[in-house]
Chain A
Amino acid sequence: MRRAAGSFLFVLLLCSAWGAALPAFAAGPEEAAKEAQKAQALAEKLAAETPPGTGFEGRVVREGEVLAGARVYAYKTFQDVMARAPFAVSAPTADDGSWKLDVPRGKYYLVAKKRKGGDGDGPLSAGDDFAYHGSNPVTVVPGKYTHVGFSIVRLEQEVQYEEGTDKGSGSLAGVVMLGGKPAEGVNVLLYVDDKHDFRGMAYSSSPPTRADGLFRFDFLPEADYFVIARKRATGKGAGPLTDGDTFGFYVANPVPVKAGRTARLRFGVISKAAEIGKEDSLFRDTGTYVTGTILDKDGKPVKGVYAFAYTEKSMAHRRPDHISRPVDAAGKYVIHLPQGGSYFIGARSEYGDTPAYGEWYGRYEGTPDHSVRIETGHVLEKIDMVVERILQ
C-alpha cells in the first residue's frame, strides 16, 4: 500500500506547542500575551496528562470510494473552523483513504478537506471536497485512537445569486443531492449561529424534500445562515447521528442571504453519518478472520504489502471487498471478514487499480482457485502467500 511521504503516523502540528493556535480574545497586547501564555500552559498541561497513542484515526471516502490526498483538520472551536485556524492537521490520507492524528485529550471539531487550490487549510471553491463531521465536537479518549469515518462531498458549484421576488427580504433555495441523485425526505435547517453545535431548534426548517430534492426558504432577513441537512433513518428527530442517517453541512457555510436576491445552492449530503468510536469497518474485529504471512521468495517480509479478499474469483479490475492492514515486521496479516463464506485471497503493495509494473503481487496458492472457505466466528490461520514483483 502506498503511503504518503514520511511516516504514516506523521502529524503536522501547526504550532510549536499544542494549543498555541488557540485564539486570544483579550483586548490589549499585554492581555493577549497573558491569554496566549495561559493557553500555552493549558496545552502543555493537557499534553502532559495525555498518554501516548491518543488521537483520532479513520478513513475518508467519497461516493463509496476511498479518497487519497485529503487532510483531516482538528479545531478547538467552531470559530476556529470558520477562521481556518486548525489546532492540528493530519498528513494526507493514504491510497486506502486512511489517516491518523495525535492530539491531547479534549473535544475537537473535525473537518476533512481536499482542495485543488493548495495543500494547506484555505477557502473552498468549486471542485473541492469537504466534510464537516456530523458528530462534532468529537471527544478523544485518552490512550486510544478514536475512529472517525468521513464521507466527503464535492462542492459542485459555488452559491449562485439571482433576482428575488421580494425586495425587502431574501430567499434561499436549492436541491439536496445524495450519491449524485436528488435526495428525498431530507429536512434542510437554517441556523444563524453555532451556539448549540447545530442541534436543537433551528431558525427555520424546510419540510422533507420530495423526490426532486428541492427546498426553498422565502422572506428571510438579511443574514449569514448555516445550512444543515438531516434525515433520520429511524424517523425519530433526536439523539446522536447513527449509521444510516443522512447529514450535510453545506460546504460553503455560512451562506449570505441578501434582500431582493435568491441564493441558489446545490447541497451534497451523505448517509451513514456517524461512525464515532467504532473500529473502521474494514479492520473491525468481527471474530471471523483469515491470517497468515506474506513473504518474498527468499522468505523475507515485504514492507507495505497487504492481503486482500474478493468475494468473486476474478481478482482484478475492481477494488477488493476486504483488505488487511499492511503486514507487520514478521510479515503477518489479518483480514477481518463480516461473515463466513468463500473468499479469494491475494496480496499486493498498491490499493485499487490494475497491478502495475514492478509491484509486489501474489495469490494464495493453497487451493487451486486461491479461495478459502471460512465459517462465521472462526479463524483460518496459515493462509500464507509469496509475493513477487510483476515482470521483474
Chain B
Amino acid sequence: MPGKFVAALTATHEHERQPQDSMKREDLIQHSELSHRYDEMFDAEGAPRTHWKELSELIASESRGAAARRADQVRRLSAESGVNYNVHADPSGADRPWQLDPMPLVIDAAEWQHIKTGVAQRARLLNSMLADLYGEQTLFVSGKLPAELAYAHPNFLWPALGTQPAGGHWLNVYAADLARAPDGRWWVIADRTQAPSGMGYALENRDIIARLFPELIGDLAVRPLGDFFTQFRDALIDDSADGLAVMLTSGPLKDGYFQHSYLARQLGMLLVEGNDLTVRDSMVFLKTLGGLKRVVTIVRRIDDALCDPLELRGDSALGVPGLMSVVRAGNVRVANALGSGVLESAAWMGFMPALAEPLIGESLLLPSVATWWCGEKRVLSAIQDNLDQLVIKPAFPTANFAALDGSELSPQQLDALRERIAAQPGIHVVQERVRLSQTSAWTAERGGGWVPRTLTMRVYAVATADGYRVMPGALAGVAANANADVVAMQRGGSSKDVWVLSSSDHEASHFRESRPRVGQRSEDESSRMIENLFWFGRYSERCEDKVRLLRATLTMSIDPAARRSGSWATAIALARQFGVLRKDGEARLRAAVTDPDIPFGLANDVANLARCAVQARSHLSAEQWATVSDLQQSFVEQRDNAADARELLDDSLLALAAMAGFTLEGMTRDEGWNLLMLGRRIERSVFLADLMSRLLLAKRGPTAIELGWLLDIGDSTITHRARYRETPRLATVFDLMLNDISNPRGLPFLIIAIQRGFDRIDDDARPAWPPPAAALMAQTDPLLIERDDEEGNAARHRLGEQVQAVLDGTEAFADWLSLRYFVHADAQRPVLSA
C-alpha cells in the first residue's frame, strides 16, 4: 500500500515538468519563470491559446496608460457597485473590499462542457450522500464511509436525522472550487454545500467587465449569466404555492450582507433576518405590516447550526426558534437543507470516487485533488515518510489548527506533526499539493502591468426539475502573489469574471443579460424593512436640514452686519441647540462640518444615513446607493480638511437633492415608499417647526438677517425674493413658511403631505391629524406679529406656541407610527432547565 501511494505522488510530480518557456511576449505582460504550472493564456510555446486569441491581442495592442485607465475604471465601478461596500467605511481598514481584476478568464466551449457535466454530476453525488447520511446510513453500515466523518462533524445535525427535505433536494445550491493541475486537467479542491457564497459577486463582476469590453463580449459570444438566475428562481419559488420565498441573512453588520441583498433582488426574494420570521403551529411566517404571512421557501445564508436556537446551537441569535420542527413537518423548503454543511470537509473527497458507482451509477468525471483521511489505518502508516510532500488539513471546521504545507516544515516540525496525527488521526486529512495554474492579472505597482498570478475558480450549480443546472460562468480568484497555492481573496487577492464561450450561436442568442423578473409584492414587505425605509427618509431629510443650517450660518459669518446686530449670536446659539456645533468653546463652523466627535453633528447623521441605506439596500436603486456611499466617503476623506467645508456642503446638497429626486422619480409607490416619504416629511416638519418656534418665542422679534437666514435654511430665499421683492420681514416670511399651502418647504404644505401619507394607512386607532394648532396658525394677523410692542410680542409668542404645538403633534404621530408598525425586535433569550 505505501508503495502505491508514493508512486501516485511521483506520477503527478512528473507531469509538472514542462518545456522551458522561452518565447517573447509583449513587454507589458510579464510571464512566470516557473514552468511547472499550467498557463491559462499561453501554450507551451508561448503563443496565445486559441480561445484567448482575441482578448490577448486586444490587451497586447494597448498602451500601458490605456490598460491603467481600464484598471481604474474597474476599481471605480466596483466601489460604486455596493456589493463590495465596507460598512465601516474606513479607507485604511483591513477589511477593504477586494479588487476585481480587469482581465476576465476565458474558457472554451468544449472544456466548459466537461466542467459543467462534472460539476452537475458531483452535485448529484453529494445530494445522494446527504440523503443517505440523514436517512438509512447504508454507506456507514457497508463500510464505504466512516461514520466518524459525520458523527464528529459539528454540522451533522442530529435533529435532522430522518427528515425529508421539502422539494426533494438536500442540495439546492452547490459550488465546487476548481483548480487546474499542471497537466491541464481541472480538479475539485473543495465542495461548498451549505450556503455557497459569491454568486452575487459573479453576477456583479460580469456587469462591470461587460462595460469594459462591450464589443469583444459580443464578438466572442460569451455566455450570459441571467438565465441561470431565472432558473435558480424558478427552481426555488413555486409561484402557485401559497407562501413567500425569503432569503435569510445574518444582518447588515455581518460579512456578505451586500451580496445577500444583491442576490435577493436578482432572485426577487425578500431579504429577512431571523427575528423577522416566527414559527407557529409547524409553519414559518414573516412579520409584515399586514400581519403574519406564510413562508414556504427559505434560501439561507447562515450556517446550519445557527438556524434554530431551540434545537441547534442555543447561543445563536441569528436563527428562527422552531425552524427545525417546521422542516421535520415538511412545511418549509430550506435551501440548502439543514444539515448539508456536514459535507464541507476535505475528508469526504478521498471516498467519493468509490461512491459514485453505487450511488448514481456513474464514474466520477471531475477528479478531486488526491486526499486521504488519516483516520484510516493504512493511510496513517503510508504518510509517515511523505508528510513533507503533502498538505495537512483539519477534517472538521472545529479543529484548532490551520492547513499546513509539509514542504515548509523542518524535520523537527515534521516529527511533532507525526506525533500529533498519531494521537488524533481522525481529525487530520492529507492532500496532494496542487500547483495552481496561472493567468495574467493587473498590478498597479511599478507603473502598472500584467503579472502572472495563481488561480482557482468557483463554479455554481442549482437543482431544478430537470437536474442540476450549472452557471455558465464562475467566480475566479487570483492570489496576491505569483506562486501562492492557496488563493484567498480576503488576503489581498482579487476576483475575475469568467467568460465561457458559446459552442454555437444558439447559446448566445441574446447577449444582453436578461434579468430575472421580480416577483415580490409590496404588502408582503417585512416590518423591519418598512422601518428601515422610514428612517432612511428621516435621515436623508435630517442631513439636508443640517447641511442647510451649517451653510446658511457660514454665509452669515462673513456678513459684518450680522455680528453687529446680534443675529450671529442667535444663529450660533440655535446651531448649538440643533447639535451641529460643539456645545461650548469657539464656534469653528468649518471644522464642525466633518467632526465625528460632535454627537448630533452632520458627520454622524451622514454616517447614520449610510447605515440606514445599508439596511434598506435592497429597496434603493443603484444611483441612490452610489450617492449615499459617495457622500459618506467624502465626509470621511475630508475629515481633516476644514478649508473645503463650504464646497463639501454644496456638494452634499447636490447629492441629497439628487437622492430626493431618485425617491420621487424612481421608486414604486408602495407601502415602503409611503413610509419613506412620511419619514422625510415628518423630519422636515419637526425641524422647521422647532427652528421657527424658537425664533418666534425669543424675547425680541427676529431681525431681517435672522429671517434671511431662516429662509436660506428653509430653501425659500428665491421664492421669497420673487414673490415679495423686498428684504425679508416677519409678515412675508410668516406668509411663505406658515401660511402658504403651495410652498413645499412651508409647514402647511408638509402637514397636508403627511395627511396624504397617513390616509394610506388603514387603521382605526390612528391619532387625530392635523394637530388643531395648525388651523389656529392661519388666523394670525401678519402685521400684528411684526409690531415691537406688547400686543405685537404677545401675538408673536402665541404664534410661536402654536408652531410648537404642531411640532409636538408631529412627534407624537411619529411615535405612534413606530409603536404601531415597527418591530421592536424583542430580545430573544435561550433558557435551560435541569
A and B found bound together: no
Q: Which residues of B contact A (CB under 8 A)?
A: none
